[in-house]
Amino acid sequence: MSQPNPLVAGISRRLNGPQTLGNSAFFWCAWLLGLALLVALPLLVSRYQVINASNILISCILAMSLCLIWGYGGILSLGQASFYCIGGYAFGVVGINLIDAQGNTDLALLAGIAIPVVFATVLGGMMFYSRLKGVYIAILMLVVSLLLGLFMRQTADPSYTIGSAFLGGMNGLRPATSADPSIPNMILGFGDYVIAFDGRRSEFYWLVLGLTTAIYLGLRWLVNSSFGYVLIACREDLDRTETFGYDVRLVQLAVFCLSAAIAGFSGALYTAWGTYIHPDGFGVAPNILVVIWVAVGGRRDLTSVIVSTMLLSWISLELTSSGEISLLALGVILVLAMLLAPEGIIATAGAWIGRTVRRRGGMPARSRESVT
Amino acid sequence: MSEPSTTMTVPHAPDPTAPILEVVDIYKLYGGVHALDGLSMSVQTGEVHCVLGPNGAGKSTFFKMLMGTERPTSGRVVYKGEDVTRYPAYRRARLGLSVKFQNLRVFPELTVYQNLFVPLRRKHAPAQIPARVGAMLAQVRLPGSEDRPVQQLSHGQQQWLAIAMSLASDPELLLLDEPTAGLSQDESEQTAAIINEVNASGVTVIVIEHDMAFIRSLKARTSVLHYGRLFAQGSFDEIAANEDVRRIYLGTA
């Protein structure tokens, strides 16, 4: 490369490192090209496909939240979709109640992040401070998600009303009376200065694309920071890391809450996108689906997880018209991936591309990054 | 915390005659098996102390009780006058305890530098870490190996890296479980030299070992565990001459 610009070098040092695949100039060129394609997508495809693409990007955010806690933190949660749904319900309930008074959904979006975090703090506090590990956490999270789903299904009774919002059981969240507002779109800003993002329009797609990119870059910075090293150490050997003087329970709780915040955020976006949320999201299939996205791509790399979530969600959409085939197909892909590339199909392919490019270009393997 | 035995200890002038560590009547039951069966012993500040004993005598369990990765069924662990029995491992680490376990528990997929980064990060600013790593690697006979992946190191080099990781937190009491396991004669001698240098810098060291020549070269006070209790204690020469110790090692007991 030419003379290093200090700003570029500083950003590069923070975003690149051994915890992520794809740290080369070649990778970032391809990444920018991909991003440019995604930005231009609404000009290239039909409006219906843009609506679907928005939903796929929301799924990518959810997948990154599981990638963080499972791939980097070593904590498999089979209940990641529950944070997504809690965030979705929180956005809806607060949105219905405040949209007329406030004219925006700022607080609803905040609730979509904060309430999953409060829930994760209580649940994670109990799990990590009682030193629960591995498969017990995975199962406990799935059970909690199923229980929440059971509860939400039986809220068809009119007594389950929060202000102007009626939980609505199997039919999903609704306004309590016909006079109350329905679930709002994403409306951000203050007072008269608000921008509305209708989930069926390209503006919403670009908003979600920007947020996905920001979360991706933020997480890359986090996992390559010195905290990221502690996180990896906890994943590799929890007891050993504790004997270095780290309160590993606190590390696990912190990353669990961050993961819940990101998942809840994606759930809030989902509710705003479709202006509906219902209890099916707490079920087994949505929870397993997130695991499949992450595992097939490569749970230890953020980029791989995003690529695989895009591809698998697209395959799901294409197969939706064929009924239950969709989930079956993903199951087959998961089994094949685990047999052929246990570290993930995209991650394995990405590592191969990286080696090939380095060999062709005669570039030396990266030496030690200074970790800051 | 409410322990009345929190005696006056002046941090900068430790009393060399005071024990840095005392364990009092420790029991540890796994199911019905007594891994530790009423063990009591103490370790003096500044010494190198060897722990000997046949397989299953409770040596590694003893270390887990000291570091706090597991808790005793009953009994007390007192470190520098403070009852730490209920403290989790990270609190003991912050008080100055550090351990190298029997299986090395290095991070094989990371480089040497990255392995040392995690234990160093807690106490040192990131900018200081490269220099600290360089100094520590020189100390454990691995100079210049920062960028090597750990899985490419020999077993002996991995032992030394594991020792360096335990030293990264600047401990006052270092616990080493079998630091010469799988090492050549020459590497064992180097390891003994490393331990003596660490001790000379003021760190109290407790070593679990089987290698008699190695223990002799450490000139350490030696405790023998048998069936989870203290069986004999004394200088290495006294222990080596002890008929009962020879008997339990030969398995005729």
* Cβ-nearest to A229 among B94, B98, B114: B114
d(CA A29, CA A12): 13
For A163-202, what is each residue's pLDDT tens digit?
999 999 999 999 998 889 999 999 998 888 889 999 999 9
Q: Answer yes or no: is pLDDT of B103 > 60.
A: yes
pLDDT per position as a tens digit, B20-69: 999 999 999 998 888 999 999 999 999 999 998 888 888 999 999 999 99
Q: Name residue, tokens 């102007």.
A: A164
| Dihedral angle sign, alpha carbons of residues A90, A93, A98, A99 | positive
Q: Is the pLDDT of residue A35 over 90?
A: yes
Q: SS3 for B9?
A: coil
Query: Nearest C-alpha of chain A: how many angstroms from B189?
Result: 27
Give mean pLDDT, residues A271-297: 94
Contact call for A230 and B118, based on CB within 8 A = yes
Confidence band for A17, pLDDT divided at 50, 70 and 90 = confident
Cα dihedral A41, A46, A49, A53, rounded to 10, equals 20
The answer to whether A372 faces chain B, any CB pair under 8 Å, is yes
User: What SS3 string covers B215-249?
Assistant: HHHHCCEEEEEECCEEEEEEEHHHHHHCHHHHHHH
For the stretch A300-339, pLDDT in tens is 999 999 999 999 999 998 888 777 788 888 889 999 999 9
- Within chain A, residue ranges assigned H as helices are 6-15, 25-44, 47-66, 80-102, 106-129, 134-153, 202-223, 226-236, 238-243, 248-274, 284-297, 302-319, 325-340, 345-361
Optimal mutation site among A234, A244, A248, A253, interface B, most CBs of chain B within 10 A: A244
The pLDDT value recorded for residue A183 is: 92
Residue A16 exposure: Cα atoms within 13 Å on the Cβ side: 18
Nearest CA in chain A to B174: A243
Q: How far is CA A45 from CA A38, A247, A274, A308, in A?
A: 11, 50, 20, 21
Average pLDDT of the residues in B174-183? 93
Q: What is the DSSP string of A250-317?
A: HHHHHHHHHHHHHHHHHHHHHHHHHS---GGGGSHHHHHHHHHHHHHH-TT-HHHHHHHHHHHHHHHH
Identify which of A208, A250, A218 has the alpha carbon closest to the alpha carbon of residue A67. A218
Question: How many interface pairs between A and B have CB atoms less than 8 angstroms apart?
Answer: 68
| Helix A248-274 vs helix A106-129: crossing angle, to nearest 10 | 150
Instruction: Parse chain A into domains and list their residue ranges.
Output: 56-282
Radius of gyration of chain B (CA): 18
Name which of A18, A237, A247 is nearest B90 (Cβ-Cβ).
A247
Assess whether pLDDT exceeds 60 at residue B4. Answer: no
Residues of chain B neighbouring A301 (CB-CB closer than 8 A):
none
pLDDT digits (tens, 9 = 90+) for B104-136: 889 888 899 999 999 999 989 888 999 999 999
**Rounded CA gap, A150 and B36, in Å?**
48
**What pTM, to 2 d.p., does this model score?**
0.90
**What pLDDT does residue A367 have?**
41
